[in-house]
């Protein structure tokens, strides 16, 4: 039986700063502050609400996008999809729906099955 992978189609990350950490653990994980948690929720929602339904309208295949900070002001956009045409369609929607964002690069990471630890 095939297991269906469950994931957020649009996810963001933020630059880590010491002020966002309440406690660091031996396994390199950390307990984030409430401020950091709120910032992640706001960031996810900003990107998700801008692009989610618009990409779903153009693609029927599986896809996912992760906005990863390159600097405090620029994001790398990591796109998971099945074809170069899908990649171009997703990139077009993102650029049209988020014209005021400063993106550093758009990277095709592979298909949704490649998300693994990158998510």
- Rounded CA gap, 95 and 72, in Å? 19
Q: Give yes or no for a contact between 64 and 112, defined as CB atoms under 8 angstroms apart.
A: yes
Q: Which of 70, 75, 66, 58 is nearest to 108 (CA)?
A: 66
Rg (CA), the chain: 15
Structure tokens at 73: 């002001």
What value does the mean pLDDT take over residues 42-67? 86
Which tens digits make up the pLDDT trace of 77-113? 999 999 999 999 999 999 999 999 989 999 999 888 8
């Amino acid at each position: 039986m095939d297991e269906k992978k469950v994931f957020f189609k649009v996810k963001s990350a933020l630059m880590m700063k010491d002020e966002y950490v309440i406690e660091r653990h031996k396994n390199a994980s950390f307990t984030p502050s409430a401020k950091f948690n709120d910032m992640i929720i706001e960031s996810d929602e900003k990107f998700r609400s801008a692009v989610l339904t618009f990409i779903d309208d153009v693609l029927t295949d599986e896809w996912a996008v992760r906005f990863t900070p390159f600097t405090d002001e620029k994001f790398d956009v990591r796109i998971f999809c099945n074809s170069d045409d899908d990649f171009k369609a997703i990139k077009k929607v993102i650029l049209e729906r988020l014209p005021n964002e400063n993106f550093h690069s758009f990277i095709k990471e592979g298909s949704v099955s490649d998300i693994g630890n990158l998510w």
